[in-house]
A and B are shown apart, each in its own frame.
Chain A
C-alpha cells in the first residue's frame, strides 16, 4: 500500500487566492481526518469523515475553509480566500477502527 497520499507537497499562493489540498486515503480505511499543524497551536483537528460523511467540522476555523469527500478514495480541503494566517502544514490521515491514524506527508502552505 502506498499509504496516505497528499498533494501538493508545497503550495505558495498569494493572499486572496483559492487553495485546494488533496488527499487519497489508504484503501479500506473508513475514516479520514484533516489536521493543521502550526508552531503556536500544534496539531489541530479541522474535520473528519466516516464513510465519506462529514461528522464533525467544529475545528474548521471559519467559512473560508471547506472540505469534501466525494468518494472513499478522495478528499479535498479548500481555502477561499486564503490569508497569510492560514500558512501551516496541513495533514490528512486515515484510519480503520482503532488502529491509530496513518498520516500523509503533509502539504506546507505559504500564503504571501
Chain B
C-alpha cells in the first residue's frame, strides 16, 4: 500500500529565510504524481506544486521548489524568502491513478517576523 510520511509535525522559519519540509513515500509503482498542498487557517486546500515521477527535473513555482529523489522516494519542499503568508499546514500527497490521492499527516509551518 502506498503511504506518505511527513516526519516533521512542526517547523519554524524566520521571515525572508529558507525552509525545507520533508516527505517520503512508499510505492512499488514507477509512474505516479506527487503534490504539495498548503492549508492556511482559512482551511482552503491550495495546490502549491506538482511533480511527475517520470520527469527528472525538479518542479519550481516561484519561491517554491522541490527536491525529488525517486530512488530514495523522497519529495521535499523548499520555500525560499519565506513570507508571513506562508504560515500554514503543508501536506505532501501521492497519486498513482486518478482515484486515490494519499496524504501525509502534515507539517505546521510557523513564520517568525
What is the interface of chain A, defined by CB distance below 8 A to chain B? 31, 33, 42-43, 45, 48, 50, 55-56, 89, 91, 93, 95, 97-103, 105-106, 108
Contact = CB atoms under 8 A, between A and B. Distances in A.
Nearest to A45: B100
A91 B45 contact: yes
Contacts of A95: 98
Contacts of A45: 100-101
Interface of B: 33, 35, 37, 42-47, 50, 91, 95, 97-101, 103, 105-106
Given A43-B91, A106-B43, A106-B44, A100 B99 contact: no
Contacts of A55: 99
A106 B87 CA distance: 19
Contacts of A42: 103, 105-106
B98 A103 contact: no
